[in-house]
A and B are shown apart, each in its own frame.
Chain A
Amino acid sequence: EVQLVESGGGLVQPGGSLRLSCAASGFTFSNYWMHWVRQVPGKGLVWVSRINSDGSSTNYADSVTGRFTISRDNAKNTLYLQMNSLRAEDTAVYYCTRSVQWTTIAAHWGQGSPVTVSS
């Protein structure tokens, strides 16, 4: 069974940093594209970033480019999102997703990790 478990969220001050992790199990992690998607409470889903299976290719939403970095450790079956220069508008639940095999289509979702940026 595919399992994605996010961790690392919490309360951080504006301008601060946080690193989210997503521990994957139940599948061969190194074979799949992965994404981060976020959701402000009460609002819609917003794509944040994606990374290919070996970590050599990454893409970001304009709103986080230059501040967030997606990465992965295939030996540890873990996806990361390093978030720097955090702003109040980055407050959201962050979901880790796994793609359908051979595609970039997000299919399996974690339960999410809440991030609050506030002084």
Chain B
Amino acid sequence: QTVVTQEPSFSVSPGGTVTLTCGLSSGSVTTNFHPSWYQQTPGQAPRTLIYSTKTRFSGVPDRFSGSMLGNKAALTITGAQADDEADYYCVLYMGNGMMFGGGTRLTVL
């Protein structure tokens, strides 16, 4: 069974840049999957950051950006801030539903 893959954890220094990726255990991610990204902090509902590869959701700062990186989708945070410390989930939209990755826990230190 194909699964969506993400780095389990990542760390970045304040002010630094980090790129998280979203792949498939079998095959390549393409824009046809409309890869999207969500941020979740402890005890809160997820928040939409990026949808359809690179469209920034309403109110999301422009230091969050989405792109394709080879055969994966990518989320880049430029100028990381302390409150960017969170779990980040990507999702791929398949024919009859959608599939989330396992999430990346981002630490800012």
> Does any Cβ of B come within 8 Å of A88's Cβ?
no
* Cα–Cα distance between A111 and B101 once the two chains are bound (Å): 21
Decide if B48 touches A47 in the complex (CB within 8 Å).
no
A37-B46, A47-B97 given; 6 more Cβ-contact pairs under 8 Å:
A45-B103, A95-B45, A104-B98, A105-B51, A106-B48, A107-B48
B42 shortest CB reach to chain A, Å = 10
Closest chain A residue to B57, Cβ basis? A107
Contact count band on A: 20 to 34
If over half of A's interface residues share one DSSP class (helix, strand or loop), that class is named, otherwise mixed; here it is: strand
* Cα–Cα distance between A35 and B91 once the two chains are bound (Å): 13
Partner of B47, one of A46, A60, A109, A112: A109
Partner of A109, one of B48, B98, B99, B103: B48
B104 shortest CB reach to chain A, Å = 10
A46 shortest CB reach to chain B, Å = 6
Decide if B100 touches A44 in the complex (CB within 8 Å).
yes
Decide if A107 touches B89 in the complex (CB within 8 Å).
no
Partner of A107, one of B51, B87, B93, B101: B51
* Cα–Cα distance between A95 and B45 once the two chains are bound (Å): 8
> Does any Cβ of B come within 8 Å of A67's Cβ?
no
By a CB distance below 8 angstroms, the chain A residues around B34 are 103, 105
Considering only residues 66-109 of chain B, those with a C-beta below 8 Å from chain A are: 87, 89, 91, 93, 96-103
> Does any Cβ of B come within 8 Å of A61's Cβ?
yes
> Does any Cβ of B come within 8 Å of A100's Cβ?
yes
By a CB distance below 8 angstroms, the chain B residues around A112 are 45
> Does any Cβ of B come within 8 Å of A50's Cβ?
yes
Closest chain A residue to B89, Cβ basis? A45
A99 shortest CB reach to chain B, Å = 10
Closest chain B residue to A105, Cβ basis? B51
